[in-house]
Structure 1
Amino acid sequence: MSDTAIISIIDDDESVRVALDGLLRSHGYRVRTYASAIDFLSSGGFENTACLLSDIQMPEMTGTQLSDELCLRGIEIPLIFITGLPAVPPRARPGGTGPVAVFPKPFNCAELIACIDSVLGRLA
């Protein structure tokens, strides 16, 4: 995966989207942000997304519902959950796959970048 891989961020909290956008851009990634899972799905942004960061608890469609919907559509994107919920274990998707990782907020930025780099096959 190239250093310009597109990372899509879905979070209903604008401050989280802005902070993650800046963090990922500072590490050479191109970033797209979405305020909801519905916005992401309706935009077609999944077509060029190399990795997806999604909040779990959001209005309209949760991160786990998004994960299920992507699976139903046959869309395979590495998914990393970020959440303000305490001790949320990874949830398997239908078919046995699930999120790559779950990061509780606040999370260690270096660990998140290392996880993304690993998912995309970059050297950390």
Structure 2
Amino acid sequence: MARDAVVHLIDDDDAVRQAVAFLLTTSGFAVRVYESAPAFLDALPTVQPGCIVTDVRMPEMDGLELQRQLKTRGIGLPVIVITGHGDVPLAVEAMKAGAVDFLEKPFSDDKLLSAIRVAIDRHAREAERADEIAAIRSKLEALSPREREVLDGLVAGLPNKTIAYDLKISARTVEVHRANLMARMGAASLADLVRMAFVIRAGLR
């Protein structure tokens, strides 16, 4: 789990905020509490990475509208919504809108803690993958057009001679481009080079 992750707890019920914040703090989480969704949105400039735990039904702005606002502002923190029994359809809508989980009251402490750990870990992995994709894309953009063509051939599994024939260059020139590709991409092997290309393709889906 990310060490610096913060749980952002949003609930208009003061007693619930205090009880849940106490549980999270004693369980080792850093916690920030907000009495409403607008209060959280006002604090966005200082919000640290982690996850959001929010009641789905609140007077000023419900959990669904909060998610819409977060999406509009490009905030990708994972959201866990808390719902009463009668609000399950609303919670399902929140899931469709991108919430990672919802907990129906009353829920156990362990269930809440588990949901938060899963959300934070998933977000951390997604952030690492985004960083990897950005680094690989930067290297790809620095390649020459010919190097990109050779890379496409290698990713397609074509031998050097076939790539050379298709590009109307010598096999020796393909070998030179291949060596340059390996160096410029920081690839330890052909398999590593192909993996990078597939990472980019998967990231574009």
Q: TM-score range by the shorter chain?
A: 0.7 to 0.9
Alignment of 1:1-124 (within 5 A): 1-44=1-44, 47-86=47-86, 87-88=88-89, 89-91=91-93, 92-93=96-97, 98-121=98-121
Q: Distance in 2 between matches of 1:69 and 1:34?
A: 16
Structure 1 moving runs of 4+ over 4 Å: none
Over 3 Å counting, the alpha-carbon distance change for 1:37 and 1:107 in structure 2 is same
Deviates more, 1:19-28 or 1:83-92: 83-92
TM-score normalised by structure 2 residue count:
0.54
**Structure number having the greater helix percentage:** 2
Amino acid at match of 2:92: P
Equivalent residue pairs, number = 118
Deviates more, 1:112-121 or 1:22-31: 112-121
RMSD: 1.8
Identical positions, percent: 37
**Structure number having the greater strand percentage:** 1
Shift in Å, 1:2: 3.1
TM-score normalised by structure 1 residue count:
0.86
Q: Distance in 1 between matches of 2:74 and 2:121?
A: 22
Over 3 Å counting, the alpha-carbon distance change for 1:45 and 1:31 in structure 2 is farther
* Contact 2:2 2:121 (C-alpha < 8 Å) held by counterparts: no
Secondary structure of residue in 2 paired with 1:121: helix
Higher relative contact order (CA 8 A, sep 6+): 1
Over 3 Å counting, the alpha-carbon distance change for 1:85 and 1:69 in structure 2 is farther
Q: Distance in 2 between matches of 1:103 and 1:43?
A: 25
Structure 2 unaligned spans of 5+? 123-205
Structure 1 residues 66-110: Cα deviation after superposition (integer angstroms, max 9, x where no partner): 0111011111010000022433343222xxxx1111111111110
Structure with bigger gyration radius: 2
Q: Distance in 2 between matches of 1:32 and 1:44?
A: 12
